[in-house]
Amino acid sequence: MATAVASRQYRERLFRKFEHAIETNRRLDRSLVSFQANRNLGCYRWLKYKEGFAARLVEHLVDEYGTTGSTILDPFAGIGTSLFVARELGLNSIGIELMPVGCMAMESRLAAERASATGFRRKIAQLDGFNWQSNVDERYALQHIPITAGAFPSETESAIAGYRAYCDQRIRDADIRKLFQVAGIAVLEEVSYTRKDGQYLRWDVRSKKPRVKALFHKGEVKRFDSAIQVKLHQMADDLRSAETPERTLFETQLHNGVPRGDIDLRKGSCLAILPDLPSDSVDLVVTSPPYCNRYDYTRTYALELIYLGLDQDDVKRLRQTMLSCTVENHAKANELRRVYEARGKLADYERIRRVFDRQLALQEVLEFLEGEAESARLNNTNIPRMVRNYFLEMCHVVFELARLLKPGGRVLMVNDNVRYAGEEVPVDLVLSAVAEQFGLETEHIWTLPRGKGNSSQQMGAHGRTELRKCVYVWHKRSSIG
The residues with which 473 forms a beta bridge, in sequence order, are 412, 444
How does 123-160 read in b/e, with b if 16+ C-beta sit within 10 Å? bbeeeeeeebbebbeeebebebbebbebbbbeebbbbb
pLDDT tens column, 197-236: 877 888 988 887 877 666 788 999 999 999 999 999 999 9
Q: What is the mean pLDDT of residues 250-267?
A: 73
Q: Do 124 and 102 meet the contact criterion of CB atoms below 8 Å apart?
A: no
- Write phi, then psi, for 429 (nearest 5 degrees): -75, -45
Q: Which domains does the chain have, with CATH numbers?
A: 9-98+262-296+310-453+465-476 (3.40.50.150), 113-242 (no CATH)
Least confident of 96-105, 134-143, 175-184, 346-355: 134-143
Band of the pLDDT at 182, cuts 50, 70, 90? very high
Check residue 250 and give its pLDDT.
52
Q: Which residues contact 129 (CB under 8 A, 6 or more apart)?
A: none
Whether the predicted pLDDT of 256 surpasses 60: no
Q: Distance (Å, rounded) from C-alpha 323 to C-alpha 269?
A: 8
Q: What is the mean pLDDT of residues 166-172?
A: 94
Check residue 284 and give its pLDDT.
95
Band of the pLDDT at 4, cuts 50, 70, 90? low
Question: Left (φ > 0), alpha (ψ -120 to 50) or beta: where does 309 sit?
Answer: left
Band of the pLDDT at 42, cuts 50, 70, 90? low
Give CA separation, 45 vs 102, 105, 312, in Å.
14, 11, 28
Q: How many CB atoms lie within 10 A of CB 77?
A: 31
Residue 207: Cβ-neighbour burial (10 angstroms; 0-12, 13-18, 19+): buried
Q: Which residues contact 209 (CB under 8 A, 6 or more apart)?
A: 149, 150, 193, 203
Q: Do 136 and 158 meet the contact criterion of CB atoms below 8 Å apart?
A: yes
Q: What is the mean pLDDT of residues 371-380?
A: 93
* One-character DSSP codes across 290-350: PPSS---HHHHTHHHHHHTT--HHHHHHHHHHS-S-STTPPP-HHHHHHHHHHTT-HHHHH
Check residue 61 and give its pLDDT.
84
Check residue 454 and give its pLDDT.
47
Whether the predicted pLDDT of 346 surpasses 90: yes
Q: Do 179 and 235 meet the contact criterion of CB atoms below 8 Å apart?
A: yes
Q: Which residues contact 118 (CB under 8 A, 6 or more apart)?
A: none
Residue 83: Cβ-neighbour burial (10 angstroms; 0-12, 13-18, 19+): buried
Q: What is the mean pLDDT of residues 126-138?
A: 85
Sign of CA dihedral 43, 48, 49, 52: positive
Q: Among 415, 87, 148, 128, which Cα is nearest to 301's?
A: 148
pLDDT tens column, 276-334: 999 999 999 999 999 999 989 999 999 999 999 999 999 999 999 999 999 999 999 99
pLDDT tens column, 8-22: 999 999 999 999 999
Q: Which helix (H) or strand (E) holds 180?
A: helix 174-186
Q: Distance (Å, rounded) from C-alpha 93 to C-alpha 341?
A: 28
- Three-class SS state of 177: helix
